Amino acid sequence: MFETIVVATDGSGSARRAVDVALDLAERFDAAVHCLYVVDEGEVASSPERLREEMRAALVDRGREAVATVRAATDRAVRTEIETGRPASIIEEYARSVGADMVAMGTRGRHGENRFLVGSVAERVVRTCPVPVLTVRQLAADEDAEEPVGEPGRA
């Protein structure tokens, strides 16, 4: 059913949960895993000009950490990419380019609470991506919590 799964991550708590779900599906279906981090060029451009290169470098470092976390979470081979641009567009283009059967991502990223129920990037990907998109929400009140908070026995 799934031969190629793209995991879009920004390193947030919501993304970590999506990574776990995607890796579980990859294991069950013996699917190839691609992990994508997008340096948001809009975020860089909105910073003061004198800080843009420093901001871009910091976001690339964050991306390296995020994809390394995904790679470390499984024994499966994971192809990792760090791209720059508008996250929703890059995720859609990347999914097409690798022939993905599914994209998995968190519903809220690093900007967390200032978004509505589904983050703007996740919403755009759901609307525009040519393949199914699995959105996984963070259950914990604290985005950086290690364990999800909820009813016993429910993930």
**pLDDT by 10-residue block (mean), the chain, 155 residues:** 95 89 97 97 93 96 96 96 96 97 84 50 93 84 44 41
Residue 12's pLDDT is 87
Phi, psi angles (nearest 5°) of residue 122: -60, -45
CA 121 to chain CA mean position, Å: 10
Residue 140's pLDDT is 54
Residue 78's pLDDT is 97
Tokens standing for 73? 């979470």
- CA nearest 65: which of 16, 3, 129, 124? 16
- Residues 6 or more apart whose CB falls under 8 angstroms from that of 51 comprise none
Q: Vertex 35, ends 119 and 120: CA angle to 5°? A: 10
- Residues 6 or more apart whose CB falls under 8 angstroms from that of 77 comprise 32, 33
Residue 41's pLDDT is 93
What CA–CA distance (Å, rounded) separates 152 from 59? 36
CATH H-level, domain 4-136: superfamily: HUPs (3.40.50.620)
Q: Locate the DSSP E strands across 17-153.
A: 32-40, 78-85, 102-106, 133-136
